[in-house]
Amino acid sequence: MTARSRPPVPEQQLTDQWIGGRWQASTAEAAIEVVDPSTELRIATVPAGTAADADRAARAAAAAFDGWAATPVPVRAKALRRIVEGLTRRADRFAELITAEVGAPVRVARRTQVGLAIGMAAHSLDLLDGFAFERRIGNSLVVHEPAGVAACITPWNMPLLLTVQKVLPALAAGCTVVLKPSEITPLHAYLLTELIAEADLPPGVFNLVVGTGPEAGAALAGHPLVDTVSLTGSTRAGRDVAARGAATVKRVHLELGGKGASVVLDEESLEDAVRATVDQVCFNSGQSCLQWSRLLVPARLEDEALALAVEAIADYRVGDPREESTDLGPLVSAAAMARVTGHISRGLADGARLVAGGPGRPDGLDRGYFVRPTVFAGVSPDAALAQEEVFGPVLCVLPYQDEEDAVRIANGTKYGLHSSVWAGRDRRAERFARRLRTGLVDLNGGPFNPAAPFGGFKQSGLGRECGTAGLEAFLEVKSLQFPQDSGGPLGPRLKDTAPRTEERTSR
Ligand code: NAD
């Protein structure tokens, strides 16, 4: 149970950023320390990129845009394939870095953080195969064109996956990209940049700026040469990015926080539902936007649900994220630990009843940002613990009276990202799922589908990633109207097909 005290990777002092097809020294005077959350030791320093760095990167991306946008789709696809191959080759190194900078248990790092990222990258390539960049509607030719310079701003919790989920569709669409990863976990982004450099994209098509949100991120969000900003992060950052983008009426895509509910409709599903919900709450040490941090059960089943939750959470081994047997690693930072502990203490002060875990580090761990997986009962649906995103391994079990009550509680937060429904019959689960105001609902344990649109209702976001929707997020739509009897290149075709409203053509 003791976290290691030596740094897992040799300390790196990184001073450059990738701009315009070469490594360039940042104009920053300050450096940001990257800390291994399991040891609290510094493992790297990176530049605290400035607004001037962001400006250089946006200019490089803008200069490269016309050429990349005009590059035929098969040529773009070839470049993307080289990136996917690079990801696959470096999978072990990515997993090692993500364990070091995020503190993700090595099994989670390998399978989900990296394995899913490679799958997602390959999926972006598949999308190009069948996508109709042009289609006819009556006398119009509707053309999907790259949206321009895309600023991709990413969080620390699933850093490679959530970066790939934006950057690859953006490049596939023909956008040029400035990536700004989280300042807390920038090391995977340096490795990603190395392999993108090896993929030989034209200079300026992909750029990396490392720095804080309020400086480098905000500079990109407000930059006049950036056409579209895609942020995954907190609702707080999303509001700021949207406000900055509004000055130049940018396209803003937001993947934000969540406060998901897992709703059990009958006794038959209780055991599976509780196990899956506890798994979700503890996944990635409790740091997932998809978390179902509220388990809603019929009031008559509350005691049974609590007993099952306590039993399930007791199986979780907290400790050194480099041990194969570890289920829960540390939280990402001292600030995250203080925030989660603060939520637990606030819950207690508000009268919630602790049934597992609680404040303080787990026994035997005196170093590292570890918290105890925690289950609460007696939480009012309106209390802060049931309303705010905790982003740690903390579950509230909430009883409900009838299905109307369950719908009201499940929909009763400002978020709307991911929920789940458990019922003996899929049809019953589906009827309930249709009433939930979240962008994703899993029915009876239905697995994640990377081809389906991903994103949130309400303050969980704007727009969708993944699948065709993820590619469209980086495309503008143009309609070309031809005279019905035009003798031009489309004239006869349009004349022939005039009565039909829509026909797709691939480019
Ligand atoms: P964060 O908002 O602190 O940071 C996310 C990114 O935004 C970082 O790169 C940060 O530097 C940047 N940023 C912060 N403030 C900014 C500003 N004012 N202008 C421009 N950029 C800014 O979030 P985090 O702590 O890194 O990540 C955790 C949050 O992300 C949680 O709320 C979680 O739910 C959310 N999240 C959402 C999804 C999703 O798909 N919906 C996925 C993962 C995480």
pLDDT, tens digit, for every residue of 104-148? Answer: 999 999 999 999 999 999 999 999 988 999 999 999 999 999 999
Provide residues with CB under 6 Å of ligand 1: 153-158, 162, 180, 182-183, 212-214, 217-218, 221, 231-234, 237, 240-241, 255-258, 289, 389, 391, 417, 456, 461
Region of poorest pLDDT, from 10-24, 25-39, 181-195, 206-220 = 10-24
| pLDDT reading at 501 higher than 80 | no
Determine the Cα–Cα distance for residues 420 and 418; give it in Å rounded to an integer. Answer: 7
The mean pLDDT value for 338-356 works out to 97
DSSP E strand boundaries for 286-426: 294-298, 353-356, 374-377, 394-400, 418-422
Q: Tell me: the pLDDT tens digits for 387-437? A: 999 999 999 999 999 999 999 999 999 999 999 999 999 999 999 999 999
| Nearest CA residue ID for atom 30, ligand 1 | 233
At position 311, the amino acid (one-letter code) is E
Nearest to 166 by CA among 178, 182, 148: 178
**Range 265-293 burial, b when 16+ CB lie within 10 A, else e:** beeebbbebbbbbbebbbbbbbbbbbbbb
Q: What's residue 164's pLDDT?
A: 98
Mean pLDDT (the chain) is 94
- Total-model pTM: 0.95
| Nearest CA residue ID for atom 43, ligand 1 | 289
| pLDDT reading at 92 higher than 80 | yes
Percent residues over pLDDT 70 in the chain: 93
Per-residue pLDDT band at 9 (split at 50, 70, 90): low
CA of 415 to the centre of ligand 1 (A): 15
Q: What's residue 487's pLDDT?
A: 52
Region of poorest pLDDT, from 373-377, 410-414, 487-491 = 487-491
**Burial class of residue 359 in the structure, from the number of CB atoms within 10 Å of its CB (0-12 exposed, 13-18 middle, 19+ buried):** middle
To the query of whether residue 289 is one of the catalytic residues in this protein, the response is yes
To the query of whether residue 255 is one of the catalytic residues in this protein, the response is yes
